[in-house]
Structure 1
Amino acid sequence: MWIGSEKTTRIPFQSSFKSRLIVLSSLGLILFASLLLIKQNTNSQSEIKTLENPQRLPQNLPTFSTKFNPSLYHTNGTEVIYQIPNSPKAVLFIAHGCTINAYDFWDKSPNCPHCTGLPEERIFVLQALERNMAVLTISSLGECWTFKREMENVEWIIHNWIQSNKLGDLPKFAIGASSGGYFVSALATKVEFSSICIMIAEGVFEQIDIPKNYPPTLFVHMVKDKIRASAIGSNMAELMEKEIEVKEIRCEEFPPDAGFLAKRVPGLETELTVKLIEVLGEKGFLDQKGYLKKDGRGIKWKEALVEKKLIDEKFELFRHINEELNLAFAYHEYTSLKNDEIFEWFESHMKGN
């Protein structure tokens, strides 16, 4: 029968069977080719998705044998929290950013009942202790660091703490983030550090006289902050002109992941992180690729979870989760994701004083 025609023609059975066999075979080949093409497209999309996330995230946290056992004292109007491992090989001073303080680098313990252990800060301290560094944290006198009285204050505290603990023969390092990065860049003209790390800050080099013995300087910054990245490039060029060793580490954004959040925030249940990622998507806080449209400071994720009765208003891990969302957005946040490179930088400058 010819489709579209009223005329009917009888076709011999054998000829009809062969025709049908040919048609079926052709359809089979077409179907196989279509399936193969779909598979190739799926693989290509999978490969592209992998390439879209240039920052390789650690699947697991390092296994820490060291435990937090800090000592705390008050002097000159501020808090000093430190821990000295057995057989220390270096001293590391850490200057926090604005709204952070020394308590945020250490987990709550009998020795430090007010410590809060923010995820990125605590991981950094634990890895420093694992590498046998004596860690010293000091709270700024105000919300952020200042550069007159406070410079003299911290210089005095570092000197006396080193002398009291008989650490004077060890190399000294410093790292500062944001406001702490500006502070460390200036403090390095007063304290003889073997090397320093300035994180998410360009330093205050236009405001200081850079001495010839200024320490080797590592910049760790987030490339999404293009203005700061440009300023860091200019300051690196200036330091190189003075024959000071410099290096930079660039940090990229990544899509937040429930497993990643649960592993990095002690006490945070995986079930809640799964719900959090779902809520971020429902509320339109994520783009089509799963990246945050704004950092944790710019989205009302806590209110969304409270509304769904997943947490209450007194939720204690708000700052901890917020920090990890800031880290995923990668514009301005303390990061421990580059710890290996940072500690390799310090350990490559292990000259004593």
Structure 2
Amino acid sequence: MWRQSHKPTKLFHRAQRCRPRALALLALFLVASTLLLCGIKGKPSSQYDPPKLKRSRTRTSTQFRPTVEYTNGTDLIWQIPESPKAVLFIAHGCNGRAANFWDRSPGCPYCVGFPEERLIVLHALDRRFAVLSISSSRKCWSLGKEKHVVKWITTWWIERNKLEKLPIMALGASSGGYFVSALAAEMRYKSIVLMIAEGVFDTMGIPEGYPPTLFVHMPKDQRRMRLIERNMEALRRKGVRVKEVRCLEFPLSPNFLSDRILGLNQTMAVKLIRMFSEKGFLDENGYMRKDGRATRWKQALRERGFPLEKYELLNHIQEELNLAYGYHEMTSLQTDDIFDWFESYMN
């Protein structure tokens, strides 16, 4: 949690006096962001119609009530909504784990609820998808024995919860995207989503009956974009239905941070954005000059006297900075596109 001193600082009073002006600037930031987020390929890139970034996207009607288990050498966390209509397996990226997708709760005391991961799960539950997340055995997913482990766990879990009649989907990000692309050759997925990953089609081949595949990626990563384009063409030649969603950079605003990061209040979000601007981490339009991982913002916080060891939200903030830069990060901004894709292949 972010901790503040009991005595308001001069910066706090200044932020309060400037609030009307700050809100006006926030409105401009949000309008600009609607023009630059993402689009589904189906027309030339110059004609993409990006969806608007709405604050309502960060709020859902569903609450987390996960079940945590340990089986077959790994942990799994899952939740089944009332009257589920589909099953969704989610694979994290390198250095991730199942606990990243769920908020801390009595049922999951070690869950961390990263902003983008948790929002993907919340939107899935709102769409009545039963969600299963499994942790990889090592830092990243492997493509050997681990495929059989996850296949066994998924089948066992579905049968135990009497979900056999439901369609099964899968979403994987980065390392998880490679893993899902390989697992889809053996599992009966109705469709899959590969996020910031081109898949491993060059090494495994594309079997008959491979599921429809949606690529969600960030074209600022040009090398990966070229590989995705090549793999999309290879899938098409095999008769596989494919589509892509391109996710672009967007300007940061206090509202964006405080809306998406639980425990980060508006006052602290304003301070963060102001510090990023003063340090030159943002350009004049509010865009990140560098990837969040390459920005020394934590050192800047330390220089301002913030006791970093007391903060539990540093990795949450880091994720949103990476996302705003638009290079290689989990994203929930495209959940409407993702779940529309899944639902179009339910039968």
CA contact (8 A) 1:85 1:133 kept: yes
CA RMSD between the two structures: 1.5
What residue number does 2:315 align with?
319
Match of 1:254 among 244, 250, 253: 250
Q: Tell me, which stretches of 5 or more residues in structure 1 are unaligned?
A: 1-45
Give distance in 2, aligned partners of 1:105 and 1:251.
21
Give distance in 1, aligned partners of 2:344 and 2:196.
22
Which SS does the other structure have where 1:60 is aligned?
Answer: helix
What residue number does 1:203 align with?
199
**How far 1:124 sits from its partner (Å)?**
0.6
1:145 aligns with 2:141: yes
Q: Tell me, which stretches of 5 or more residues in structure 2 are unaligned?
A: 1-27, 38-51
Give distance in 1, aligned partners of 2:307 and 2:269.
11
**How far 1:306 sits from its partner (Å)?**
2.2
What residue number does 1:114 align with?
110
Which SS does the other structure have where 2:55 is aligned?
Answer: coil
**How far 1:311 sits from its partner (Å)?**
4.5
Identity rate, percent: 54
Give me the TM-score of the superposition, normalised by structure 1: 0.83
1:75 aligns with 2:93: no
Match of 2:187 among 191, 199, 206: 191
**How far 1:58 sits from its partner (Å)?**
2.1
What residue number does 1:100 align with?
96
1:54 aligns with 2:36: yes
- 2:176 maps to amino acid: G
Which SS does the other structure have where 1:183 is aligned?
Answer: helix
Match of 1:336 among 332, 336, 341: 332
What residue number does 1:169 align with?
165
CA contact (8 A) 1:306 1:313 kept: no
Give distance in 2, aligned partners of 1:53 and 1:292.
16
- 1:54 maps to amino acid: L
Give distance in 2, aligned partners of 1:203 and 1:57.
28
Deviations, residues 309-348 of structure 1 (Å, cap 9, x unaligned)? 2453331000100000000000000000000010000000
1:305 aligns with 2:287: no
CA contact (8 A) 1:188 1:215 kept: yes
Match of 1:180 among 169, 176, 180: 176
- 2:213 maps to amino acid: T
Task: Summarize the Cα distance change of 1:132–1:51 in structure 2 as closer, same or farther, 3 Å threshold.
Answer: closer
Match of 1:86 among 82, 87, 95: 82
**How far 1:62 sits from its partner (Å)?**
4.8
Give distance in 2, aligned partners of 1:100 and 1:138.
10
**How far 1:213 sits from its partner (Å)?**
0.5
Give distance in 2, aligned partners of 1:293 and 1:58.
24
Which SS does the other structure have where 2:245 is aligned?
Answer: strand
**How far 1:279 sits from its partner (Å)?**
1.2
What residue number does 1:11 align with?
none
Q: How does 1:257-296 map to 2 (within 5 A)?
A: 257-296=253-292
Match of 1:215 among 205, 211, 214: 211
Give distance in 2, aligned partners of 1:214 and 1:50.
39
Give distance in 1, aligned partners of 2:306 and 2:206.
52
Give distance in 2, aligned partners of 1:198 and 1:118.
19
Match of 2:60 among 61, 64, 69: 64
More displaced stretch, 112-121 vs 63-72: 63-72
CA contact (8 A) 1:272 1:310 kept: no
Give distance in 2, aligned partners of 1:339 and 1:278.
30
What residue number does 1:6 align with?
none
Q: Relative contact order (alpha carbons < 8 A, sep ≥ 6): 1 or 2 greater?
A: 2
What residue number does 1:348 align with?
344
More displaced stretch, 219-228 vs 293-302: 293-302
Q: How does 1:37-52 map to 2 (within 5 A)?
A: 50=32
Deviations, residues 238-265 of structure 1 (Å, cap 9, x unaligned)? 0000110000000000111111100000
Deviations, residues 55-76 of structure 1 (Å, cap 9, x unaligned)? 2422333542211011111112
- 1:321 maps to amino acid: I
- 1:160 maps to amino acid: W
Task: Summarize the Cα distance change of 1:141–1:220 in structure 2 as closer, same or farther, 3 Å threshold.
Answer: same
CA contact (8 A) 2:173 2:197 kept: yes
What residue number does 1:154 align with?
150
Give distance in 1, aligned partners of 2:138 and 2:232.
29
Give me the TM-score of the superposition, normalised by structure 2: 0.85
How many aligned positions are there?
304
Which SS does the other structure have where 1:278 is aligned?
Answer: helix
